[in-house]
């Protein structure tokens, strides 16, 4: 089982969301602890090992560190502008 860690940017985004969206995002993030590469995940940058999963209109960008069994949630945002400044 993988541990989950949040970058400050991702934590701030989640805290600013309504309760319904928070539950939706946390459900997807908690599932990454069991399977960090679920169906529908996409490798964005191979060098940095950045992956993306979809959660409604939101995208969760995360990094997998297999050697220490860690998933780092790098950024969460709306699908319209999440890929800017990655």
Q: What is the CATH number of the domain that holds 45?
A: 3.30.2310.20
Rounded CA separation 36/63 (Å): 9
Is residue 15 domain-resident? yes
pLDDT of residue 69: 95
Would you call 66 helix, strand, or coil by DSSP?
helix
> What's the number of domains the chain is made of?
1
Is residue 85 domain-resident? no
Is residue 83 domain-resident? no
- Residue 32: domain span: 3-78
Its pTM stands at 0.90
Rounded CA separation 69/85 (Å): 27
Residue-wise pLDDT tens digits, 43-74 = 998 888 899 999 999 999 999 999 999 999 99
Percent of the chain topping pLDDT 90 = 84
Rounded CA separation 22/15 (Å): 8
pLDDT of residue 45: 86
Is residue 84 domain-resident? no
Contact 68, 59 (CB under 8 A): no
Structure tokens at 41: 């995940």
Is residue 52 domain-resident? yes
| Helix ranges (DSSP H) in the chain | 8-15, 19-34
């Amino acid at each position: 089982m993988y541990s989950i860690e949040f970058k400050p940017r991702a934590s701030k985004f989640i805290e600013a969301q309504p309760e319904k969206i928070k539950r939706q995002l946390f459900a997807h993030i908690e599932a990454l602890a069991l399977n960090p590469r679920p169906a529908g995940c996409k490798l964005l940058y191979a060098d940095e090992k950045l992956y993306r999963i979809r959660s409604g209109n939101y995208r969760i960008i995360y990094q997998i560190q297999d050697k220490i069994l860690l998933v780092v949630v790098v950024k969460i945002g709306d699908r319209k502008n999440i890929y800017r400044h990655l």
